[in-house]
Amino acid sequence: MSEKPLALPLIAVVSNRGEQADVDARLINGFVEKTELDGVWCYKRPGYETYYNGFTGVGRGTYFWDEGTASLLGDVYSVFGSNLYRGSTVLGAVNADTDMYTFAGSQGATPKLFMNCSTKAYTTDGTTVTQVTDVDYPALTVPGAVNLDGTIYVMTPDAYILGSDLNDPTSWDSLNSIRVQIDPGKGVAIAKQLNYLIAFKEFSTEVFYDAANAAGSPLGRVEAAKLGVGCAAADSIASIDGALIWVSGSAKAGRKVMLMEALKAKEVSTPAVERLLQSLDSPKGTAFGISGHRFYVLTDIFFGMQRTLVYDLDEKLWFEWEAVDGGTLQFISSTVGSNQEVLVQLYDAEVVRIRSSLNADKGQAFSWDLYTPNFDAGTRLGKVVNKLEVTADQQNNSMLEVRFSDDDYQTWSPARTLDLSRKQAWTTKMGKFVKRAHWFHQRLNVPLRIKAVDLHTDLCTL
């Protein structure tokens, strides 16, 4: 037996050889956490439970608004189908298009919540819904609504940014307009970072600030902050802790995922992730913080990949998450409630609450799977495995299945079951290999946290 066990890698980020994520190393429905001593804990992702349901129609946007009248402070506003809801109560009808709604709070004597889709805009005071009918409001807008110093801004597909009157999103002035025009191209979306308006076009991005101009638009350009990439999918834009993250568009480089912090943008997608991005039809992104991590969740409800890509902004790693049935998670919009609880709107007519203490989705266990990279212990000589040992939290009723593949993920051995309720969990006599991938699997409604997987081996001749 070798003097020192060989540690298998637990950081298995998205890896693939093409546009399909069904071979190579990957971690499904989990995330990892690096320790101060260069160790790693591998976790199961948090589960969720129903928060609001009973809606009619598909989800089209959700927002936690706490600027209304005192009796209505702190509630979740959602659009499902053709209705706006406060909590699970219908406030009124909205346009029945299928695109997403974006939201922006507006203060003033009577605070209002502004919301818009591509063809209509509305306000609510928390009790009624009123359509914006000002003739100066544009007939067609791109996704996004931004409140900058009391003015609500929207953008048109031909890249004009228009602003409302101060603290009054029902009134618009045709002179309050500025065009995004450093580079040509169509307008895609607008968003907010810090106290700046970020205007996304197809292949470029520009930044504006409140210049307090006396005439025309109050906005001024931040020329030096212009980016040479745009946005490939407006619904992929998400914001968390002042950071913006989105699927970018480029005239020559294809789709990537970009992260902007303090007006500085950088690429965070890997080549493997970018290969998967090319197959997406209409990716939707949302971001939230849970279990001490900030996650960007990128999914495609209608087409493309069958799993959901997840980027951990803190560990700077990509993973895959999936639903109970093995398909795409339907996370399309998220917000944070009054008690800092993470609320996510599902495409399928529901708002759910994600909690670190939950290990299943609405009581149904989901699969946790870790596929390790091919492992050869740094030598192409044969090895014989005397024992495989898993170091994990000791948890009652917790089992872990392990399989291995010696032919590059093509076929797998029969499953062996390890009992994680014991102080030590191991299996012996796992045969000979030159290179080997391992597959660890669990589908139980129990917590799971793994610290290490060790192989006890001897060199041999095959």
Q: How would DSSP label each residue in 138-149? A: -S---S--EEET
Structural domain includes residue 302: yes
3-state DSSP call for residue 72?
A: helix
Instruction: Assess whether 111 and 30 both reside in one domain.
Output: no
Instruction: Assess whether 293 and 348 both reside in one domain.
Output: yes
Structural domain includes residue 361: no
Instruction: Assess whether 11 and 64 both reside in one domain.
Output: no
Please state, in angstroms and as integers, the Cα–Cα distance from residue 6 to each residue in 143, 283, 322, following that order: 51, 40, 30
Instruction: Assess whether 60 and 42 both reside in one domain.
Output: no
Q: What is the DSSP letter of 69?
A: -
d(C-alpha 136, C-alpha 172), whole Å: 6
3-state DSSP call for residue 272?
A: helix
384 Rama sector, left if φ>0, alpha if ψ -120 to 50, beta otherwise:
beta
How many CB atoms lie under 10 A from the CB of residue 252? 5
Structural domain includes residue 257: yes
Q: Which of 355, 384, 411 is the last residue of a domain?
A: 355
For the chain, the domain total comes to: 2
Query: How distant is the alpha carbon of residue 441 from its chain centre?
Result: 24
Furthest C-alpha separation in the chain: 83
Per DSSP, what are the bridge partners of residue 210?
219
What six digits make up the tokens of 6? 């060989």
Low-confidence ranges of the chain (pLDDT < 70): 1-3, 16-22, 38, 68-73, 302-306, 461-462
Instruction: Assess whether 309 and 338 both reside in one domain.
Output: yes
What six digits make up the tokens of 69? 């009248």
What six digits make up the tokens of 145? 């609504």
Instruction: Assess whether 314 and 203 both reside in one domain.
Output: yes
Structural domain includes residue 360: no
Task: List the beta strands (DSSP E) in 17-101.
Answer: 26-28, 30-34, 40-44, 47-52, 59-65, 75-80, 83-86, 89-93
- Residues of the domain holding 455: 6-46+368-460
Q: Which of 311, 329, 355 is the last residue of a domain?
A: 355
Structural domain includes residue 75: yes
Instruction: Assess whether 314 and 383 both reside in one domain.
Output: no
User: CA geometry: angle at 34 spanning 29 and 39, to 5°?
Assistant: 115
Structural domain includes residue 1: no
Structural domain includes residue 363: no
**Which has the closest alpha carbon to 29: 419, 443, 453, 452?**
443
Instruction: Assess whether 346 and 410 both reside in one domain.
Output: no
Instruction: Assess whether 235 and 336 both reside in one domain.
Output: yes
Task: Provide the CATH number for the domain around residue 421.
Answer: 2.60.120
- The answer to whether 258 and 243 have CB atoms below 8 angstroms apart is no
d(C-alpha 377, C-alpha 390), whole Å: 17
Structural domain includes residue 231: yes
Q: What is the DSSP letter of 92?
A: E
Query: What is the pLDDT at residue 282?
Result: 84
Instruction: Assess whether 229 and 96 both reside in one domain.
Output: yes
- The answer to whether 424 and 380 have CB atoms below 8 angstroms apart is no
Instruction: Assess whether 343 and 451 both reside in one domain.
Output: no
Per DSSP, what are the bridge partners of residue 263?
none
Query: What is the pLDDT at residue 1?
Result: 43
Half-sphere exposure of 285 (CA within 13 A, CB side): 27
The pTM is what? 0.94
Instruction: Assess whether 193 and 203 both reside in one domain.
Output: yes
Q: Which of 355, 385, 420 is the last residue of a domain?
A: 355
Please identify which residue in the block is written with the tokens 């390890």: 418
Task: Provide the CATH number for the domain around residue 294.
Answer: 2.130.10.10
Q: Is 326 exposed, middle or buried (0-12, 13-18, 19+ CB in 10 A)?
A: exposed
**Which has the closest alpha carbon to 279: 458, 9, 1, 21?**
21
